[in-house]
Amino acid sequence: MSGFFYVLDETARILFVDDDPILREFAQVNLASPKAAVDVAADGAEALRSLAHCHYDIVLLDLEMPVLNGFDTLARIRADPRTRDLAVIVQTGREDVEAIDKAFRLGATSFVTKPLNWRLLTYQILYVLRASRAERNLHSAVATGACQAA
């Protein structure tokens, strides 16, 4: 296959949280598509304010940030009933066992390490979005009784 195409060809609203302004700018350039919008936040506190006012399909969350780090932000996302099931990909320069284990214990959906390969990350986002939406649809079907044992 040759030529450029958008990997994120599904409607999505993404929140990219990182204290590095260059990475935030790269995220807006590399992750946005005609159907996918990317908002940014510089730290966990700013991310939580955004989450309180806007609906997002997925969050990409750095761990090492001032004001409110990614671990504490993730814990607060999971503690809030409105965002409890929100897909969260941790994106960080840390790849130590403690950080990985803690992120997943706190509820990370996926984990990627920096430096970011933007194209590969876009595929990861697409996969996580599809899995998250399928899970939400299944829960909805079970809750409404539409899914019954054969």
Length of the chain in residues, anyone? 150
Can you point out the beta strands (E) in 4-61?
12-17, 36-41, 58-61
* Whole-number pLDDT of residue 3: 76
Say whether pLDDT at 106 is over 80. Answer: yes
CA distance linking residue 115 with residue 24, whole number of Å: 13
* Whole-number pLDDT of residue 63: 98
For residue 73, which of 39, 43, 98, 53 has the smallest C-alpha distance? 43
* Whole-number pLDDT of residue 4: 77
Confidence band (pLDDT; 50, 70, 90) for 7? confident
Q: Say whether 22 sits in a helix, a strand or coil.
A: helix
For residue 60, which of 107, 6, 111, 136 has the smallest C-alpha distance? 111
For residue 85, which of 121, 139, 31 has the smallest C-alpha distance? 139
Lowest mean pLDDT across 20-24, 95-99, 131-135: 131-135
**C-beta of residue 59 within 8 angstroms of C-beta of residue 110:** no
